[in-house]
């Protein structure tokens, strides 16, 4: 049995939290999914689909950029004695790189802003409603400012998880 030093070992650790991160992640996704897919706002649903589409296209272009880079390098190696410089591949490489890092990133960011704002607004509204429905005894015994600060941190962490 290998001793767990600082949580770095993979075998034989007696840590009971080894199986919890996937469960916690699935729980968080299940908890946050209704905020991402609102029931009444169809424009926000279109933005979610567009944001997901931009993300998929960005991943696809990320796959093709190194492949085209390989073809450019391969065209410069003398296979049959004659080197050919492929301007077309360089233009395609530059275009894909530009689309990946500028166009799709900007499109994703612009679509995501409204999703992020609607999600944080809905979560904050539910949290404030929950806070206001607590008893007077709770508000007298607790520091409401600290609770509001924790709530603000919680909603900002929700937006970080969703990004």
Q: What is the secondary structure of 38-62 as a DSSP string?
A: -SS-HHHHHHHHHHHHHHHHHHHHH
Handedness of CA 113, 114, 117, 118 (dihedral sign): negative
Statement: residue 12 has pLDDT above 50: no
pTM as predicted: 0.59
Q: What is the pLDDT of residues 69-112, one digit of tens each?
A: 888 888 877 766 666 778 898 899 999 889 888 888 888 888 88
Measuring CA to CA, how many Å separate 102 from each of 26, 94, 106, 120?
31, 11, 6, 26
Q: What is the pLDDT of residues 19-72, one digit of tens each?
A: 555 667 677 777 777 767 777 788 888 888 888 888 889 889 888 888 988 888
Secondary structure (3-state) at 33 = helix
């Amino acid at each position: 049995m290998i001793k767990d030093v600082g949580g770095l070992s993979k075998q034989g650790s007696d840590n009971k939290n080894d199986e919890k991160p996937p469960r916690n992640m699935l729980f968080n996704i299940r908890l946050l999914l209704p905020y991402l897919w609102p029931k009444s706002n169809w424009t926000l649903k279109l933005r979610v689909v567009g944001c997901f589409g931009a993300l998929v296209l960005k991943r696809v272009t990320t796959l093709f950029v190194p492949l085209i880079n390989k073809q450019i390098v391969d065209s410069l190696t003398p296979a049959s004695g004659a080197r050919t410089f492929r301007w077309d591949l360089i233009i395609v490489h530059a275009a894909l790189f530009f689309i990946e890092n500028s166009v799709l990133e900007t499109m994703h960011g612009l679509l995501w802003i409204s999703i992020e704002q609607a999600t944080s607004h809905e979560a904050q509204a539910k949290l404030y409603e929950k806070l206001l429905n607590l008893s007077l005894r709770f508000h007298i015994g607790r520091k409401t400012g600290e609770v509001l600060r924790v709530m603000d941190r919680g909603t900002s962490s929700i937006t970080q998880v969703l990004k």
